[in-house]
């Protein structure tokens, strides 16, 4: 695989909300340190946005599940849409 092809490959999904949050925290610290070259800074920003979207999606799913529980209607996680 070429360098360009590997750069275009989608990064793996985080294993959990907590893993995404930890990776996002590391990226923010690296970006704030001002030690990253511009290309790496841009890639870190892109990954950070992916992680942020993942975290928001998980939080939205949990919020829906909590509302279901509050209504007394327990559903499996996969059934929440």
Tens-place pLDDT, residues 39-65: 999 999 999 999 999 999 999 999 998
Contact 33, 40 (CB under 8 A): no
Q: What is the CA radius of gyration of the chain?
A: 17
Q: What is the pTM of this model?
A: 0.69
More confident residue, 7 or 60: 60
What is the rounded CA–CA span in Å between residue 36 and residue 33?
8
Contact 51, 12 (CB under 8 A): no
């Amino acid at each position: 695989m070429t360098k360009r092809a590997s750069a275009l490959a989608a990064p793996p999904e985080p294993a959990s909300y907590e893993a995404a949050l930890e990776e996002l925290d590391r990226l923010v610290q690296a970006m704030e340190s001002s030690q990253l070259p511009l290309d790496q800074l841009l890639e870190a920003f892109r990954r950070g946005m992916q992680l942020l979207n993942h975290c928001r999606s998980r939080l939205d799913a949990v919020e829906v599940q909590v509302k279901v529980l509050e209504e007394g209607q327990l559903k499996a996680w996969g059934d929440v849409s």
